[in-house]
Amino acid sequence: MPSLVTPCQGWGRVGLAFAASLSLSMGLADPASAIDETTLLLLTDPLQLELLRTNGLPTDGSVITPNTISQDDLTVPSLWWTQEQFGGELLNFWLAFPGTDGTPPRVELLVNPQVWNNYNYMQRYAFLNQFGTAGKDFGYSTRVFNLRGELLGAYICDFDAVAATQAALPSQASLPRDRPCRVFLDPLGPGALRGATPFGASAPTGGGIPR
């Protein structure tokens, strides 16, 4: 597979900006108090650029791609339907990390920057929400990057909180219906305010959005 990305600096600053944006949107004076350890890690841990270069992908099952085929069952996470319906010209490639190395399970989406810049905020949100929801169903958070490896958005779920709640509840009938997830998306990025939203209103200007 040809190289898809080039190295990029300043990752931590971008991630922390997302974190601060979410905290301010929730009315919290101390941004750090609103961000759990998993969320902070996913907002600051860089994309593994070396995996996207020729022959960079491991074959031990620690990384899943659209080309991964399970001999026994459905490949997890299964994103083929979401990719067919919502990937279009925007999605270039994706990687999924099951978390076998102790890191949070996550899907990494690489998007075409020109197409992304032509999307307004609501179109970007819809794209992230569709893939984030699909990944969540398999226990994965989702991050979006451009081809330089810069963070553009994230859909992060606190699966540890769900596990703790399930352990404390007395019966299966009392289990929570949904997993606590947050969307991080820059409302002021290039092109974010361009054009009308799908709902005929101005694009929102808030920060992170609890889901």
CA–CA separation, 17 vs 51, rounded Å? 26
Q: Report DSSP letters for 18-42, one per residue.
A: HHHHHHHHTT-S-GGGG--HHHHHH
Q: Which residue has the tokens 């553009």?
A: 152
Better-scored residue on pLDDT, 53 or 29: 53
Q: Which residues contact 75 (CB under 8 A, 6 or more apart)?
A: 64, 68, 69
Q: What is the dihedral angle through the alpha carbons of 18, 24, 30, 31, rounded to the nearest 10 degrees?
A: -10
Sorted by where each begins, the domain ranges of the chain are: 49-210
- Whole-structure pTM value: 0.69
Describe the crossing of helices 37-44 and 11-25 by its angle, rounded to 10 degrees.
140
Tokens of 79: 């994103």
CA distance 42 to 184: 11
Alpha-carbon distance of 77 to 97, in angstroms, equals 9
Do residues 39 and 182 lie in contact, with contact meaning Cβ atoms separated by under 8 Å? yes
pLDDT at 18 over 80: no
Q: Which residue has the higher pLDDT, 118 or 179?
A: 118
Q: Degrees (nearest 5) of the Cα angle 111, 115, 116?
A: 60
pLDDT tens column, 147-190: 899 999 999 998 775 544 444 444 444 434 455 799 999 877 77
Cα–Cα distance for residue pair 148/115, rounded to 1 Å: 14
The more confident residue out of 59 and 173 is 59
Residue 17's pLDDT band (cuts 50, 70, 90): low
Cβ neighbours of residue 112 closer than 8 Å, sequence gap 6 or more: 89, 90, 91, 92, 147
Q: Is the pLDDT of residue 116 over 50?
A: yes
- High-pLDDT (> 90) share of the chain, %: 32
Joined together, the tokens standing for residue 81 give 């339907």
